[in-house]
Amino acid sequence: MNNKLTKLIKYYSLINHNLIFSNKSINRYNIGQPFVQKDKAGSLQKLREEINKIKNCKLKENASNLVFSDGNPNAKVMVIGEGPGANEDKEGFPFVGRAGQLLDKMLNAINLSRKNVYITNVVNYRPPENRKPTEKEVERYLPYLKKHIEIIKPKIILLLGSTAMNAILKKADVISKMRGKWIEIEINKLKIFSIVSFHPAYLLRQPDQKKFSWIDLKMIREKLRRVS
């Protein structure tokens, strides 16, 4: 069984995809995979289908796969990056390349993992040559991203990089001045604590900046102790 198929099975298991089509009772005490409410599972599947139906999109036309999400839909922490790269486009999941490996290490440093965070991107298809998404592309995918946030209902959103920061916060300031601050945002009437940090891909190029990301991660760890 190839790696992509294994991950797809894991994803549909996480959202209890069978619940959309089945009226059978479930075991809510199954410790193998987290239980995801039927309405949330259905909403995620519907959103994925809506994104998949997008037409006249250069990103989609040049990409191999829709990159929707990874992680736990029940998570208190939602991580939002910029867009898929080559590895993500191949596998169909966000943050699976070198930047993803670094992200996993960053999360592990504060006792988090893909089992208890939820990960997505501003745009769901790989920009050609790994370029940054244009403002027009970001605006086109922003309603889907906001719907995604509304479905997950996280307590904390970690915005990785300037594209995610500008999409959600509408801030024109440089990321070095925005990171490390708690900003309460409202997405579709849902109030959420957000924090900006450097994208792992940037940290791979500028490893001396990791010390600042560590400060941001510790802030998230502390905030998690206080949010319900």
pLDDT in tens, 156-201: 999 999 999 999 998 778 999 999 999 999 998 899 999 999 999 9
pLDDT in tens, 114-163: 999 999 999 999 999 989 999 999 999 999 999 999 999 999 999 999 99
Q: Which domains does the chain have, with CATH numbers?
A: 57-224 (3.40.470.10)
Report the share of the chain in percent with pLDDT over 90. Answer: 79
Question: Which pair of structure tokens corresponds to residue 4?
Answer: 């992509």
pTM of the model: 0.85
Give the per-residue pLDDT at 31. 36
Strand, coil or helix: 5: helix
Nearest to 146 by CA among 97, 199, 178, 194: 194
